[in-house]
Structure formats: C-alpha cells, structure tokens
Structure 1
Amino acid sequence: MEINPILETRKEELAFDDLDYYVIKKGLCTGCGTCAGICSHIEFEDNLPSVNKIYDPYCSSCIQFCPQFYTPFSKIEKTVFGTTRVDRNLGCYDHIVSARSTSDSILNVCQDGGVVSTISTYLLEAGIVDGIVMSGISKEDPLKPVPIVATMEKHVIDAAGSRYCVCPVVMGLREAFEKDIRKIAIVGTACQVQGIRKVELFSEDHYPFDIKAVIGVFCYENFLYDDLFKNFIEGELEIELKDVKAVKIRHNAFELHRTHEINSIPLKTVYKHVNGACTVCRDFTAELADISVGAIGSTAGWNTVIVRSKRGKSLFEEVIDNNLLLLSDKVDIDNLTRMAHYKKAHVEEISTEAAKFLRELGAGEFEVQVYGLLLSLNAPRLETINEILHVSSDEIEQALETLIERGWATRVTDPYTVSHIYLPEKPEIIINNGMKKLNNKLKQLKRSVLSELTSLYMRRISEIYALKE
C-alpha cells in the first residue's frame, strides 16, 4: 500500500537522524512508542526515543511510521471506515452509547465503567486475539505506566485504571513479535492509535501482525511521570506515593486515592508537567480507532462508547450479546463534542509582539491570525481553519490568497483526498524578505523625502542663521 509520496521519494535517505531532527528535537514526540515497537535498536530514555550504536543508518521505518511526522488521516479514514469524516469534532462513527461492565471483578478496579477491560478480556477469552498491547504498571513503581502484552484476564485486571502519564504503548509490538504473538489488539490514546494504524495499513510486508481490534481511549493530555510524581508530588509537596491505590482527575483536582484517604492537588498546579507535544494534539477521542471509550458525556461509573468501524461494531455487538455490558442512551453528546472541539481549537498562538511585528511588514490583522494558525496546525484544510476561527469560508479563503500572494504560504493538493491543504513559509524567510522590502522602501523614501526637505531647508537657511545670531 502506498505511503506519503514525499516519504516514498525520500525513504532511502530518511533515517533516525531525521526523526531526531523533525520530531524529537522540535518537542513533538508524544512518546507513543511506535518507533521502538518496530525497531529493536530504539529504546526510550526520559520519555524520548534514542538509538543504539549498531542501528542501520539507512533504515527509515522509525520516521515513516511516526504519527507526528506524517499521518494521512483522510487516507486512513477511507481505508478503515470506507468514508471520510462528516463530524469534524468526533470523526467517523456508527453510533454513540453509554455502557458499564457487568463484571464485579472489573468494576472493583476500573476507572469508570470498565468497558475497555471488559472488551479486552472478551477478546482474549473468545480466542479472537492471543495478546493485547496496552498500558500496564511497573513492578517497581505501581503508578508508572509501562507497555505490556496482556495474554490473560489477570493481566487486564491488573492493568485497569488510568495513570495519566506518557507510556510508549506501541513499543509492546516488539514483545509480541519476540513471543511469536501475531493475533493482537491494541488499547491506546490517539497518538498510539495513529501509530498502530500506520503500522497496520502501510507495513504488511514487514511486520506480520494480524490486528483484530484497535481500542482508543479519550485523552486530553498526558503528564511526564518523573516530573509530576517524583519531582513535584513526592519531592516538592512531600506526599508519599507508596500507598496510592488509584489516580483520578475530577472536580478540577488531581486526586491520589489511598485506602482511607484522598490527597487532592489543584489541577492548575500540575499543568506545567504536561508533555509538551500533547499541547499540539487535536484528537481527543482517538478518531482512528475501531471503538473509542472515555468518561466525558456519561454519568459517574459509566463509559461513553463511540462505535466507529464495521469491525468495531461487530465486536461491540458480540460483547453485548454475551451480557458483558449494560447499555444506556443517556449520553451528553453536546458536552463530548464541546470537549473534542475545545482540544481542536486549542492551538498555540503567536505573541502580541510577534503579531505586531508581522503587521509592520504589511500584513493585515486577520492575515496574521491565519498565518499563526498555519504555523500551529499540521497542513490544515480550509475546513479545519474554519472550525477554529468561526468565520466565513470566503473570508478565510481571501486571507489565504493574500498570504500566498505575499509568499507567506503555499497551497498544495493532498494526494489522497485531492483537496487543498495549506503550508506556512518559514518565518525566517518571511522576515528577511519583509526587511528587504522595507529597506528598499525606506531608501526610496529617503531619496525623495530627503530631497524635498533639503530643498526646503536651503530656501530657509538664511532665516535660520539669522535667528541663531
């Protein structure tokens, strides 16, 4: 199956150095683990991938399958769902319901309604998969998430609950490969789902996995474990972690649950420990999954379930037919949509000072705003810009045309959807060209204005000297 033509033409040249330059050093690595999952020479250190000395410098797999370098959403949607999205906030889906597990053993340990754990155990017990790549817990540190391959119900039960920290889940592919586990499912956040979809759809000749299900979990952002738990909570706040049974985020607080006590930390104080790459992610509901699960939109103790693909629908119906889940139609879809839209609209804005400088180069206020969006977004289409700015498409198109004429942006055609996407020109080029134009304009003004002023000065020179005397 074809991949991005840019990658196709350059894949012989691309290597880990490119991943390091384009993703890691630019602070865009989400820690999803896809690169390490497909390459045994890559390990994770301090939540970031690093490569050992014996790696193949001509292998391009790590960057080809990195979701942060290029993820052809429209192509994947057409392949997985048979269509591209209509709902700009929630992506493609068949239906949305609220659900809750009927298993007491799962409900005793789960975060909300236990739907992910229930589906996972069903996949294993029904023999649909031999292993599930998912986030588990470290034996040395029960609050630290690590990638695991669950092969029995106990593994799933032990892994239940949320930990809200970066975990290279897709790295679990390596363990599955080494243990000769080929029929697998994966449970992951949006970035992990994007990585596994690229592996699933674009690498069948290299990585012989039979992926039976991709289960996505809602995710707004993840924290860096050492920064949050070790340095801040245990270090600065001096709160011991050894007896913590569960971690929850609710009521604008980060809660540490113990047997008979809850330590509540104001949520605003922990935001500085968020993984930086999460702030540019725009996918709240894991839109490329077969089934997406989270808490937003449902009452306490229940899960919101977005059934997306035919494969996901068939799996979910099997779980229901086996009486493993209770269903409810009480889903606040407006709230779910609002949260998804907020994450899409939450893009990094350029500073007031930078905007003012760009206006000095001749751009209008709205053009500067649109250019700032192009810098923050990943090759957006007109619809993407429209859903953020909430202004008419005509107004946005006019601003884009002006930016293109100025040389501040370019318009290219997405080879998969034959629709236009927009790319910003490098700020350095824009500023240098703008400064040249300003200097040329100032030189022209200097010649004309200086001549006029000098002539006026010379005509009045005698009067000026007379006044001085």
Structure 2
Amino acid sequence: MIKKSGSQTELKKSVLEQSLCTGCGACVGLCPYQVIYADRTVQLFNCDLPDGKCYAFCPRTPADYDHIIKSLFNINDLTPEIGAVKGYYLSRSSDPRLRVNVQHGGTVTALLELAMGEGMIDSAIVSSRNNEFEQHGLLVTDQNRLRGYSKSWFTVSPTVAAFNRIPDDRKKRTGVVATPCQAMALAKMKTAEIPGYNGSDLPGLVIGLFCGWTLSMEKFKNLLDRYGVSIADLTGMDIPAGKNILEIFTGSGLISVPMAEVDHCVRTACRYCMDSTAEFADLSVGAARFGTDCEEMRGWNQIIVRSDRGKQLLELAIAKHALEIREAPASALQELKNAAVGKKKKALKNIVEKSHSTKNLLYLKSDDQAVRKYLRADKKRKGKS
C-alpha cells in the first residue's frame, strides 16, 4: 500500500515552524512555491496538493528509516554507531598540487574528478558561494573546474535544490556532494513511494561529508563583526583536531575562535540531527583523526565505504592511483564511533526535551532500531544516577 506523503501545510507546521529545517534544499526547485532566502527556506504561496514531494523528501519528516537503510545497504555491513561500513581507511589525493588548496587531503575532489573522468557520472553538484558568502548548489559538467569548489565553509548550502532543478534523465548520471541531512533527503528520493514516481536510480553517486553542525549566517556575521572581520575577507575555515577552536583564515592572517563562541552560531536544526557521518551516502569523508600530530592529520581524510557503488569507486581510485590509502588504526575507528554515538545521544536528548515525550520524537519513530537503542541507554544511565 502506498502511503500518503503529506502536504506543504504539514511541512510548514512540523518542520519550518519547529525550527527543524536544515536548509538542505530538498523542498526547493520542485515547484515555484518554495525558495531559499538568506539561508532560510521560505514558502511564497500555499500549495493545495494533498501529497507533496516537498514533504516526502524532507529529511525532517517521519519516515521508515529501517526500510530505507535495508533498501540501500547490505544489512551485514550495518553498525549501530555510524551506519553501513564496507571499509574504513585514511586517504588523501595522490596529486600534491591538489592537496595544496583543498580541505585536508582532497579526497572528495579526487574522487569526483575520477568518477567524471571514467564515465561513472557526467556531472557533479557541489557547493559554491556568492559575494555575500551565501552558499548554493552548483552543477559542474567540466571535471577541470572541480578544484575551484573544494573548501568547507561550515554554513548551510541548499545543494539538493540544484539537484531538483536538473532534468530527470540527467539525475542518474549526476554525483552529489552532500552533508548528512542532504544525503538523507537523497535517500528518501531514492526510496519514496509516491504514485507515478520512481527515483530508485537517483542520483548516480553520493559522496557524504562528515558534519557536526552548520552556522547560521546572520549569527556568524555578528561573530565576525566582534573580531573586526568582514565576510568578504574570508579565504578559508577549518576545525583542527584536538584544539577546540574554529580557525578563520583571512587576507590579513589567521584568527582562532573558541568553540564556545562558535556554538552560539550553530543553526537550531542541527541540534536535533543524529547523523554526523552521512550514513546514507555511497562513501563518507571527513577530516582525519589519528595520533597526536595535528599538522599530519590536517593532510589526510578518513573515508567510510558504504555501498557497492562506493566500493567500486574506491577500488578504481586505488587502481588509477588517484588516492593514497593508509590502513586506519582501530583506535581511529573507535574514536569516530564514540563521537557519532555522542552526537546521537545529544540529539535524541534535545528531541525529547523539545517534544516532552519519548513517544513523539518529531521526525523520528520511537520504534526505530537506533532510537530504541539510545533511549534504552539513556534510561539505564538515569537509573544509575
């Protein structure tokens, strides 16, 4: 039986008005009624459709996540902490010229260049920014242009909106670089049960980015003002391992901002997200965390292979010498799992506090396997205290 997907009115009531909107763009580009303005999702007109893709694709509307996971991944690869894991490695681009101007090891850019060069995909959607520092999704059809979009800016980018706007026959040949909420939206597109709709082969590739939060543009600009920095002066941003600071690079030098100050700029919706490793991507990539040498770690990524498609691409990257691969120490994987569990527990705690119930969990289902696991753990902890 095909379930109804909801409506725009319900999307506004249960997501936008609850400050759960991630700004992923999944509801934008489907029709003229919704747009992104100043990193916010805005409904311009009311839509009277009883069922809507905007509601069905939103990563903050309820869904059968167990069904989605089992539809996309091998159940033997599943872990409760970070989702499906076929392999876990440290990686970086084999091209030292690429590594100079990219975020950490340049793994994502190297994989996209390879996928386009070998014909796995014809184009890729990446994040770009305008003169006001506002980010947006950009369709890149020339692999030689990818290196111009290889840095992280920690502000929201409605990347999925750009995917929605391309023709349907091109979507299955397009790769998307996605944060966890965006990867979830794309997974819902692939598995949505809507009359007359089939998204099972969309998109062609999803490379996920590790993400703990994104910044509210308005609050971030206010923070920069306190440091006497214009948004136009930014040349890069990074979160170095073990230092508990946000590094802001400008034309005048480096500014280190304590994370306690940065936390006040985090988007409200991010505090209710349980996924920090893009569990619904084909491969997920983040900054490396191993050993004690911060500068050595800065030059490497950690990569999780999740799907058969992701495994195929990584094996090709090794065969074509596009990536340098290190076996990751077990301690690095355990550290990643511990951090992911911490994110899940904190998000679930915030959800329970917001809904005032362990039964009504906003966009989560109380009988979801992961939810049950961490709710039980929290109850056990409280029972001992």
TM range (shorter): 0.7 to 0.9
CA drift of 1:391 comes to 7.0
Mapped contact 1:189–1:217 kept (Cα < 8 A) = yes
Q: Provide the residue aligned with 1:79 in structure 2.
A: 71
Mapped contact 1:112–1:300 kept (Cα < 8 A) = yes
Q: Gapped runs of 5+ residues in structure 2?
A: 291-296
Mapped contact 2:174–2:203 kept (Cα < 8 A) = yes
Mapped contact 1:131–1:176 kept (Cα < 8 A) = no
Q: Provide the residue aligned with 2:366 in structure 1.
A: 380
Structure 1 or 2: more helix by fraction: 1
Separation (CA, whole Å) in 1 of partners of 2:265 and 2:272: 15
The alignment's TM-score, normalised by the length of structure 1, stands at: 0.71
Seq. identity, %: 24
The alignment's TM-score, normalised by the length of structure 2, stands at: 0.85
CA drift of 1:295 comes to 1.3
Mapped contact 2:104–2:300 kept (Cα < 8 A) = yes
Separation (CA, whole Å) in 2 of partners of 1:48 and 1:266: 26
1:211-238 CA-to-partner distances (Å, cap 9, x unmatched) read 221111101111112321x22213x332
Separation (CA, whole Å) in 1 of partners of 2:145 and 2:173: 17
Mapped contact 1:296–1:336 kept (Cα < 8 A) = no
1:20-57 CA-to-partner distances (Å, cap 9, x unmatched) read 01110011111111111433432112433223348554
Residue aligned with 1:294, SS: strand
Q: Report 1:324-339 matches (<5 A).
A: 324-331=322-329, 332-339=332-339
Residue 233, structure 1, aligned to residue 224, structure 2: yes
Q: Provide the residue aligned with 1:312 in structure 2.
A: 310
1:257-285 CA-to-partner distances (Å, cap 9, x unmatched) read 13561011111112111111110100111
Separation (CA, whole Å) in 2 of partners of 1:148 and 1:30: 18
1:327-360 CA-to-partner distances (Å, cap 9, x unmatched) read 111341121111101101103658xxx99xxxxx
Q: Provide the residue aligned with 1:120 in structure 2.
A: 112
Mapped contact 1:347–1:376 kept (Cα < 8 A) = no
Q: Report 1:202-241 matches (<5 A).
A: 202=192, 205-206=196-197, 210-228=202-220, 230-234=221-225, 236-241=226-231
**Correspondence for 1:302 among 300, 303, 316:** 300
Q: 1:260 to 1:383 in 2, by over 3 A?
A: closer
Residue aligned with 1:245, SS: strand
Separation (CA, whole Å) in 2 of partners of 1:77 and 1:84: 12
Q: Provide the residue aligned with 2:94 in structure 1.
A: 102
Q: Report 1:137-176 matches (<5 A).
A: 137-138=129-130, 140-141=131-132, 143-176=133-166
Mapped contact 1:131–1:183 kept (Cα < 8 A) = yes
Mapped contact 2:125–2:174 kept (Cα < 8 A) = yes
| Greater RCO (CA < 8 Å, at least 6 residues apart) | 2
Residue aligned with 1:36, SS: coil
RMSD over aligned CA atoms reads: 2.9
Q: Gapped runs of 5+ residues in structure 1?
A: 356-369, 397-469
Q: Which has the larger radius of gyration?
A: 1
CA drift of 1:249 comes to 1.8
1:92-116 CA-to-partner distances (Å, cap 9, x unmatched) read 1111010010123321221111111
